[in-house]
Structure 1
Amino acid sequence: MSDPYPYEDQEAFDEAADARERVFAALPPAQGRGFAVTWWGRAWLKALEDTALELAQLKAGRRLARAGAVGAVSVRPGRITAVVRDRGGALHRSDVLLHQLDGDDWDRLLDMAVERSGYIAALLDREMPPHLVEDAAAAGVELLPGIGDLEPRCDCDAWDHCAHTTALSYQVARLLDQDPFVLLLLRGRDERSLLDELQVRSAAAADPAPSGREDGAAEGVDAADAYASAFVLPPLPTPPSLPAEPGLPPVLDTETAPPGDTDVDALEFLAAQAAAEAHRLLADAVATGHQQRPVPEELTPSADAARLAAAAPPEHIAVRLARATGRDREGLALAARAWEYGGVAALTVLEDAWTPDAKSAARARAALDAAWEEDERPALKGSRGRWTVSDGAGQLRLGRDGRWWPYRKERGRWAPAGPAASDPAAALATALGTGQG
Structure 2
Amino acid sequence: MPLSPTDGFKFDLDAKVRGSVNPYFGVYKEPLYSTQIKFEPISRAKWNAVIAVIASKASLISRLLLNEIPDNIEDSFKLLDVNLLPRSRKDFKTSCSCPDYSNPCKHIAGVYYLLAAELDNDPFLLFELRGISREDLKAELAKSPLGQALSAEMNAQEQDLVPVDSYYTKVEGMPVPESTSLKTFWQGEKRLPQTLDTPPTMSVAAIAIKKQGDFPSFWHRDNSFIEAMEELYQRVKTKNKPLL
Q: TM-score, normalised by structure 2?
A: 0.50
